[in-house]
Amino acid sequence: MIEQKIQQIKEQLGSVTLVAATKGRTVEEINKAISAGITIIGENYVKEAVDKHRQLAGKVAFHLIGHLQRNKVPKAVEIFDMIQTVDNLHLAKKINEDCAKINKKMPVLIDVNIAKEKNKSGCAPEEVEQLAAVISKLPNLQLKGLMAMGPNFTDPENIHPYFKEMKNLFDKIKKEYNMSMLSMGMSENHLIAIEHGATMVRVGKKIFD
């Protein structure tokens, strides 16, 4: 069943990168997804990812797609292949510092709180350029692009203006920082995200439920 769902989603995506969101999923479920062609999984919590990394390291790339607390950074830089949720200068510097200790260069995305929701983490849209300028100068980080979630709407169609704004923001600064990744869209709205230029989507429920 997982295999069929992944095949169906991949047909819809074309060249867009699929990240399987695996929060709360078992290693057995993830292995099925890997067998069906999944090459990247997205984890929300460092602690949960550590357990899975022990069993899956080398089989699949690990992306952090949940908010990262500074005290979890040392462990995060060890196990993740990309951190999609850098949203402030202090966090960026801490990741850079801990990567330097293990001689690692970490690909990162700036997490943008595109709707300025008070209950969500993420950089304010007007602060993205400033943060990008700083990250681009940190030697152990590689700024690859932007990431956004957008508000949770009952009707996914309401997300259009937010994804459109994200694409405009991405287009405005991508050349200056040589960025190629726009990670936005989840199970309920990934097709809308693709309409608006997402290059990467994070899908969980549509694969595993």
pLDDT value of position 169: 98
Tell me the mean pLDDT in the region 52-62.
98
Give me the mean pLDDT over the 76-95 stretch: 98
> Cα separation of 166 and 31, whole Å?
33
Cα distance between residue 34 and residue 19, in whole Å? 11
pLDDT for res 81: 98
Q: What is the pLDDT of residue 8?
A: 95
* pTM to 2 decimal places: 0.97
Give mean pLDDT, residues 48-65. 98
- What is the tens place of the pLDDT at every residue in 150-206? 899 999 999 999 999 999 999 999 999 999 999 999 999 999 999 999 999 999 999
